[in-house]
Amino acid sequence: MIIKKTNGPYNIFTEEETVVEFFHADPLGVVWHGNYLNFFEIGRRALLEKIGYDYNDMKNSGYAFPVIETYTKFIKPVTFKDRIKIKAVLLEYENRLKMQFEIQNIQTGLITTMGISTQMAIKIDTMESCFICPDILINKIEALIKENK
């Protein structure tokens, strides 16, 4: 899978900053590979809030969106106390939620990590998979797309 730097076809994205904490790192002070998914989650949460359909809204509307696939490309290591910027970009939303992530070391300006995650809607009461995202999400994203034009 090739990942390129993008703002996505819809120009819906967020950027969040954080500091790499001691508990993110291995004994050498380098972020453990599994913790990059936690950084992606920071971006995903911020993007969902921007859309106006965060995890509480999902639950209240009767849907959950479990992650069904992830991909991560490690370019340069991130280490303890690095300040990082996490960019989350909406790539798809009609049949599934697909987001791209970029982690940038703020001190060096370099992109250190890129990734993609895919989430699929399920109905909470029946645990049935939905092959189309619920109207509430689609309507919120389409309103944001219009607003961004």
Along the 149 residues of the chain, how does pLDDT read in single tens digits?
A: 667 777 778 899 999 999 999 999 999 999 999 999 999 999 999 999 999 999 999 999 999 999 999 999 999 999 999 999 999 999 999 999 999 999 999 999 999 999 999 999 999 999 999 999 999 999 999 999 999 87
pLDDT at 1: 65
CATH number at residue 74: 3.10.129.10
Would you give the distance in Å from CA 36 to the centre of its chain?
11
Count of Cβ atoms closer than 10 Å to residue 13 Cβ: 19
Q: What is the pTM of this model?
A: 0.93
Report the residue count for the chain. 149
pLDDT at 2: 64
In a domain, 3, yes or no: no
pLDDT at 135: 97
In a domain, 94, yes or no: yes
Please give the helix or strand (H or E) that residue 86 lies within, else none: strand 83-92
* Rounded-to-integer distance, Cα 49 and Cα 139, Å: 15
> Phi/psi at 66 (nearest 5 deg)?
-65, 150
* Residue type, position 62, single letter: G
* Residue type, position 147, single letter: E
Please count the structural domains in the chain. Answer: 1
Is the Cβ–Cβ distance between 98 and 117 less than 8 Å? Answer: yes
In a domain, 8, yes or no: no
In a domain, 104, yes or no: yes
In DSSP notation, 53-78 reads: --HHHHHHTTEE--EEEEEEEE-S--
In a domain, 1, yes or no: no
In a domain, 78, yes or no: yes
In a domain, 7, yes or no: no
pLDDT, one tens digit per residue, over 95-126 is 999 999 999 999 999 999 999 999 999 999 99
In a domain, 126, yes or no: yes
* Residue type, position 5, single letter: K
Q: Which residue range(s) make up the domain with 83?
A: 13-148
Query: What is the chain's alpha carbon radius of gyration, rounded to the nearest angstrom?
Result: 16
